[in-house]
Amino acid sequence: MNYNNPARTQAVILDWAGTVVDFGSFAPTQIFVEAFAEFDVQVSIEEARGPMGMGKWEHIRTLCDQPGISARYAQAFGRAPTDEDVTAIYDRFMPLQIEKIARHSALIPGALETIGQLRTQGLKIGSCSGYPAVVMAKVVELARQNGYVADHVVATDEVPNGRPYPAQALANVIALGISDVASCVKVDDTVPGILEGRRAGMWTVALVCSGNALGLTHEEYQAMDAQQLAGERVRIHGMFAGSRPHYLIDTLNDLPPVIADIDRRLAAGEMPQGS
């Protein structure tokens, strides 16, 4: 048997919050703020957004390692936060997240139609998230009620290592029966999610406006003037630069032309690892 480059895209691996649901990715960020507040430690929305895309325990650990937050924790408790303290915050975060996830469960406008268009092209729809399985169960059910059902879902605690490791993306490859990782496209609104796709050997597409990077509601996004939006795009492109996404687009609705271009590149013999 000989190896042949894949000729076309087989699957799209989609993130959830900020990609398909929850325009602006508010569900996780707001709950981080509330969970820390219950320990009398102030964390801003901007700080909470910083490590977005990681598993939630690792996200909290990363926040606690930030000098400003660590200092506020030390002021409240007389010491820097330990792993046990991180677990205590995580244990409070989880029920808050489950309780309030429905507030930010709406599908991103146009996402359902875009995913339908991808399916008509024969693409499988995988998915993964920084949420653990107990939260994902509720997210998936709420999405189902709104008409979206992915072909496969992988939560961050269903693999040995979450993002930026490639395990979740690769678990989708196995479950969906994909013949070559180079025929997969990972779509995400966070740097860890793009790194996940890169390390899995996939094409990667970073979302600039619908997720954590811009951090606005759909209405706020639509109300931005062209000059302001252009400036934000420059900032966010810079934020993603180190993770080297193959494409940057505003929202999932801009994905079909990207898939067409990837198919063109695959047909010409180009592979994601080479660019």
CA atoms within 13 A on the CB side of 150: 30
- pLDDT tens digits, 103-151: 889 999 999 999 999 999 999 999 999 889 999 999 999 999 999 999 9
Question: In the structure encoding, which two tokens stand for residue 71, read together?
Answer: 């200092």
Same domain, 142 and 110: yes
- Domain check: are 146 and 182 in the same one? yes
CA-based nearest residue to 202, from 157, 233, 239, 243: 243
Asked if pLDDT for residue 52 goes beyond 80, the answer is no
Active site residues: 15, 56
Spatial neighbors of 72 by CB under 8 A, at least 6 apart, are: 41, 42, 43
Whole domain around residue 241: which residue ranges? Answer: 11-26+104-270
The torsion angle over the Cα atoms of residues 177, 179, 181 and 185, rounded to 10 degrees, is -70
CA distance 146 to 162: 27
Per the structure, the count of domains in the chain is 2
pLDDT of residue 151: 98
Residues 82 and 140 in one domain: no
Statement to judge: residues 120 and 74 lie in one domain: no
Torsion angle, CA of 13/35/93/142, rounded to 10 degrees?
Answer: -60
Examine the domain organization and report whether 116 and 206 are in the same domain.
yes
Same domain membership, residue 238 and residue 195: yes
In whole angstroms, how large is the CA radius of gyration of the chain? Answer: 19
pLDDT at 162 (0 to 100): 93
Residue 233 and residue 173 in one domain: yes
- Please report, for residues 9, 53, 101, the alpha-carbon distance to residue 5 in angstroms, rounded to integers and kept in the order given: 11, 30, 41
Q: Is residue 250 located within the same domain as residue 181?
A: yes
**pLDDT, tens digit (0-9, with 9 covering 90-100), for 66-100:** 999 999 999 999 999 999 999 999 999 888 888 88
Q: For residue 175, give the CATH number of its domain.
A: 3.40.50.1000
Same domain, 54 and 188: no
Same domain, 185 and 240: yes
40 and 173 co-located in one domain:
no
For the stretch 85-121, what's the b/e string if a residue is b when 16 or more beta carbons lie within 10 angstroms of its beta carbon?
bbebbbebbbeebbeebeebbebbeebbebbeebeee
pLDDT in tens, 177-211: 999 999 999 999 999 999 999 999 999 999 999 99
Q: How far apart are CA 22 and CA 50, in angstroms?
A: 17
CATH label of the domain that carries residue 61 = 1.10.150.240
Judge if 172 and 58 occupy the same domain: no
Amino acid 48: pLDDT: 87
